[in-house]
Amino acid sequence: MNQADVLDLLRSGIWAVIWASAPPLMVALVVGFGISLLQALTQIQEATLSFVPKIALIMVSIVIALPFMFHVLSNYMEQIVSHIGGPVGP
């Protein structure tokens, strides 16, 4: 395994983490924006209002997106294992 393979695995790892974490982060972004907009429109300035819906919807999104997240991370793990079992010798 040379430097190019290591850099390729690192790049693939970064993309795998980005793709696996995207569904809950996007839900948090949308819910946070929606609650902030609701607070601005109704002038309700309660700081704790955003926590409960955001946490609940993030948990639901993780449960729904878990097969996708598992698929992304297992493909990355298969890529790592295939590089470990590469050719031996010079």
Q: Give me the residue spans of the domains in the chain.
A: 3-82
Task: Indicate the residue type of 28.
Answer: A
43: region left, alpha or beta (phi > 0 left; psi from -120 to 50 alpha): left
Q: Are 31 and 54 in contact (CB under 8 A)?
A: yes
Model pTM? 0.77
pLDDT tens digits along 29-87: 999 999 989 888 988 888 788 888 899 999 999 999 999 999 999 999 999 888 877 65
Q: Are 85 and 32 in contact (CB under 8 A)?
A: no
| HSE, side-chain direction, 13 A CA sphere, residue 13 | 9
pLDDT tens digits along 20-31: 999 999 999 999
* Axis-axis angle for helices 3-42, 51-84 (nearest 10): 170
Residue 28 structure tokens: 């948090």
What span, in angstroms and rounded, lies between the C-alpha atoms of 14 and 6? Answer: 12
